[in-house]
Structure 1
Amino acid sequence: MPDIPGAPPVPLSQLHRASDRLTFVYLEHCVVHREDNAITARDKRGTVYIPAATLGALLLGPGTNVSQQAMVLLAESGSTVVWVGEHGVRYYAHGRTLTQSSRLLERQAALVSDPTTRLKVAREMYAMRFPGEDVSHLSMQQLRGREGARVRRLYQEHARRTGVKWTRRSYDPSNFDDSTPINQALSAANASLYGVVHAVVVALGCAPGLGFIHTGHVLSFVFDVADLYKATITIPVAFDVAQRDSIDIAGDTRRAVRDVMKDGKFLERCVRDIHKLLTPDEEVREYGPEDIDNLVMLWDENGRHVPGGVAYDE
């Protein structure tokens, strides 16, 4: 059989784990291409080289042109590419998992398909936001009410801390400039957070659309996981940026979010939390030798798996 044309993909064993990668890089008004195993971003000021194998998410803003070869490298490297609109408030994505095993995906689907286990995972998500409190007896309506009160209190606390005027969370996705500076900063911070969380979700082989709290959206699980970190990342960062009277709120917010994530080892934390939610009794593992072998199994109604690629009529 002749070889498949084109360069072979990078072996999974040579890729960086999701928890060890850069969080995200935002680009706009440039040409994105490939040189060897690096992504290049070129504009009138020169060319920047970005190692694809260490990148979690590449956010492509307005005025970007990306080549087919750049996309091939990013896909082979397990990096997520997110196309975002002006100021990063619109979100479109492509990604590839860093594992060839569907184990975590099947676990997620099983948990979300049973109302009992779905409620258990949802309660665990809220419990991670209320350390030291027992939420095991609360209904979803009660949990939403408690979370709403907590978020309102956080907004008010950071408004007092920074002196930023705060009324309420209000924004128009189609008109970024029409909202207040603090609401602009919150939108930009959340868009960056969603991009990075999406990169981790797809890297682990999970389904972005199978949410436990959010539902009906292709990014429901991304929103579920991202909400775990808004109180410690996006809300304080947004108020800090709004306090500065910035002339580039979106850009300053993205850079501030990236700095906080880098210092706090955010990717490692996000991977650990997803495993805690989906496989609480198992050791955290992103991929192993059994994934690298690209083994395809066949389902059997008795619950066991049998090898694929076998002629069972013989």
Structure 2
Amino acid sequence: MIGMPPPSPQDLSRAEDRLSFLYLEHCTLGRDGGAITATDERGIVHIPVASLSVLLLGPGTRVTHQAVTLAGESGCCLVWVGEQGVRYYAHGRPLARTDRLLAAQAEKVSNQRKRLAVARQMYSMRFPGEDTSALTMQQLRGKEGARVRRIYSSMAKEHGVEWYRRDYRPDDFESSDPINQALTAANTCVYGLTHSVIVALGCSPGLGFIHTGNDRSFVYDIADLYKAELAVPVAFETVAEFQASGKAIKDLSAVIRRRMRDVFKNEKLIARIAVDVKDLLVDDDLPDDAMLADVLQLWDETGEQLASGTNYADE
């Protein structure tokens, strides 16, 4: 074999134990042994990709075949994003080698009773201490809308930031006022990390329980569990600091990304997302070795799973 052999799944770091994300732009990604290198006019930086959850590739990044190969072998999710890191384009291979969570997700999202139960469970995580088991989706949406409105109003009053309403234009980031830009940038960080963990666990980003019709519906489902707690305070605090300093607000999205990365680390958000996704989709504990087991079997209508790589033709 030419070059380094790929690592086995057991050699890789668990999703919960990895660093959150790294954003790069205007550089060339290559490979040096077991590390990805990022090169620009200032020099070369080595990135321990096996310990990273997601690598966000912004404008001006060029990626070699060997860099993509190493990222795929290491279970690091490459996500191609747009300017300011607020547009999502594509992602890479998952860390998980089993379809158990994906099968459970597909089963529950395809059954109306089970789907409603998961949706209610998601809402109950946002309303601690409240019983959501008998509420309709319309009632739950109403409660969530009122909660978000209260949070925005409270944050604006606490930090002295002028607030009118949430205004986000996907095709024109600069058209929004500073607080809406900060919220967009902070939310995007949550979406990116959530997407990387969902993909790393082998789930489908598109099979949502509350959101539907989009290839990232499940990402929005899970990210909504944390945005009000983590992203909203960072956005309001950052804009308030800029305004208090009297300085022009420059590189707001870059400042938000760095602060969100610190929040992710301090709150151990990767581990929280992984645990929450597993709890929502499966009723029993799923050990890490089951997630990493590289097993391929054949399906049978009797429900029995058969070994692959076997010739089943009659003699």
Task: Normalising by structure 2, report the TM-score.
Answer: 0.94
More off after superposition, 240-249 vs 100-109 = 240-249
Distance in 1 of aligned mates of 2:264 and 2:4: 34
What is the alpha-carbon distance in structure 2 between the residues aligned to residue 55 and residue 27 of structure 1?
13
Structure 1 residue 166 displacement after superposition: 0.6
- Measured against aligned partners, the alpha-carbon deviations of 1:185-221 in whole angstroms (never above 9, x if no partner) come to 1111111111111110011110111000111111111
Aligned residue identity for 1:295:
V
Q: Does 1:300 align with 2:300?
A: yes
**Structure 1 length normalisation: TM-score?**
0.94
What is the identity, as a one-letter code, of the residue corresponding to 2:268?
A: K
The correspondence for 1:273, drawn from 267, 276, 287, is: 276
1:310 is matched with 310
Structure 1 residues 39 and 6, CA gap change in structure 2 (3 angstroms): closer
Which residues of 2 match residues 141-220 of structure 1 at below 5 A?
Answer: 141-220=138-217
Q: Give 1:283's match in structure 2, choosing from 282, 285, 290.
A: 285
Sequence identity of aligned pairs in percent?
54
Equivalent in 188, 209, 222 of residue 225 of structure 1 = 222
Per-residue deviation, residues 111-136 of structure 1 (Å, max 9, x unmatched): 00001100000000000000000000
Following superposition of structure 1 onto structure 2, how do residues 1-314 of structure 1 map, counting pairs within 5 Å?
Answer: 7-245=4-242, 246-279=249-282, 281-288=283-290, 291-292=292-293, 294-312=294-312, 313-314=314-315
8 Å CA contact 1:99–1:286 kept in 2: the answer is: no
C-alpha deviation, 1:6, in angstroms: 6.4
Native 8 Å contact 2:300 2:306 kept in 1 = yes
Root-mean-square deviation (Å): 1.4
The structural deviation recorded for 1:287 is 3.6
8 Å contact from structure 1 (residues 98, 287) kept in 2: no
Q: Is the Cα–Cα contact under 8 Å of residues 272 and 284 in structure 1 kept in the other structure?
A: no
Q: Which runs of 5+ in 2 are unaligned?
A: 243-248
**Residue deviations 1:4-56 (CA, integer Å, cap 9, x gap):** x7653211010001000010001111111111111111222222111010010
- Give the superposition deviation at 1:244: 2.1
Structure 2 CA distance for aligned equivalents of residues 103 and 299 of structure 1: 13
- Segments of structure 1 that go 5 or more residues without pairing to the other structure are none
Contact 2:10 2:292 in 1 (8 A): no
Task: Determine the C-alpha separation between the residues in 2 that align with 1:198 and 1:36.
Answer: 27
